Chain A
């Protein structure tokens, strides 16, 4: 899922400063699962903002609305009848959703209420962590299901670096060293000899370095 964090409240207050009637969008997908921008979080943010503006003596009207998905035209287009009623749209969807809504409603300012952070998993209730950078050329077969591009702070293909200690990354003592995980896994699977293979240079052209990516399936086009 795509994981996001709500932006600091002060920043959001600045965004809404000039307005008195806004649409606050949420999304039923990833941001709901990571408890950032679903119906519940939209309601909480809306009431926080309204209370604050009330206290300032400048009340604001906030329409709460949650789309099934913000990354699909059929849902985004469903906003059409209502968007015109609001001075601005603030969105708690991920960066993809925010952009897609902005693309569809060019006459409106669409502002982000969250910082989109990573593609990850729910480690446990309330804890999410990154797993995939979407480099476009998966090598999880070589590293037995642990991605060095994502889970090593230096994206080393032939790690670990000299900063791995006690299973932790030098960058953060709460972050596991990706290469320690890979070595542990190789051992578990009795495949430590694979460690001796030198991983060749990566072709980054399939990643973001090759420019914004697009996928076309001609057979699915209508």
Chain B
């Protein structure tokens, strides 16, 4: 009985690894959404949400993604709701790709990811600059976007292995 309960708890933790990574990266002081250093940064959370919502949406519920966005905004002192909107738009793009794709293709995913983050950053820029008149360096934003795009394959591979590991454990 005790053994069964322990296995159930372990299985629950394994299944929810993406959720834990998401909240850890949002709540941790070491910004995983503006990773590495102040000069060289990329948005880890964008890759995380895109991958898991594309490959295994049940493991990363959109309601939790929405709350992660709110937490991120509160901690980063940005517009409350903006990160949630960004994350949900990534979910829309990955959902769309999942529905129209018959044979999954990495290159296609990568290009869609680029288009999605370009769109999201444009929306961010529009909301922050034109509606709320908030000052920020566009170059840094663009650089962050570019590095996020370049780093996508590395995390795609890591997450693919993690997904395999989780599925194997659950089987």
Do A and B pair up? The answer is no
Residues of A within 8 A of B (CB): none
